[in-house]
Amino acid sequence: MKNKFTITFVMILALMIFMTSVGEAAALGNRMLYFGTRGRDVKALQSMLASKGYFHVEPTGYYGPITERAVIEFQKNYNLRIDGFAGYETIKRLKSHYNLNISNSNDRLDVTAEEMDLLLRTVYSEARGESFEGQVAVASVVINRVLDERFPNTIKGVIFQPWAFTAVHDGQFWLDPDPSMRKAVEAALKGWDPSGGAVFYYNPAKVTSYWIYTRQVIGRIGRHFFAV
């Protein structure tokens, strides 16, 4: 009886070790992640959340309260089910807006020092209360317009097109931008476009022209809706 008990105990222990190792080696998206889970996939999740401005500490591989709060904020911004679990839909949406090679991609536009200053002012005045991803998305909309034949083909022309940006009209554009905005602008110039190709964005709480509601919404980040 004693030998039988010992064998059973060893088998259970081996199974627990096996399951732990599987979790540690799991690729992001192969399992649901939630409070208390550990593994490389959790660390990958944390790195992605950090790149998008939701996770502000060093990735650890442990799904604790900081990770859970970051996931919840991401879910809120993308109209996902808000449960703090990193399941299929949450991870899929996170991956679809993530680019591991931002720093290695080609610039979408070559900009002068003056144009960089204009972009910094635009992002600061229009999106200083948004997440890093939301700031990159606003910069991307300016770039998308420059590259779209329906709009002026220069950054200056796009930004100062009459009534194009509320901050230009109400004077906030001329506030001195926070230097941290440069990272968001550079990410957009390198090719990361969280807006999904949008050429319009708006905050429903601050809409002054109802024409914007005729545009097709393709995404939401923070308080901004992005449209084409």
pLDDT tens digits, 122-151:
999 999 999 999 999 999 999 999 999 999
Q: Which of 107, 199, 115, 113 is nearest to 155 (CA)?
A: 115
| pLDDT value of residue 104 | 41
* Predicted TM-score of the model (pTM): 0.57
Domains of the chain from N-terminus onward: 2-98 (1.10.101.10), 105-227 (1.10.10.2520)
User: CA of 23: how far to CAs of 12, 67, 90, 112, in Å?
Assistant: 17, 17, 19, 48
Neighbouring-strand partners of residue 93: none
| pLDDT value of residue 80 | 87
1 falls in which pLDDT band (50, 70, 90)? low
pLDDT in tens, 2-17: 555 555 555 555 554 4
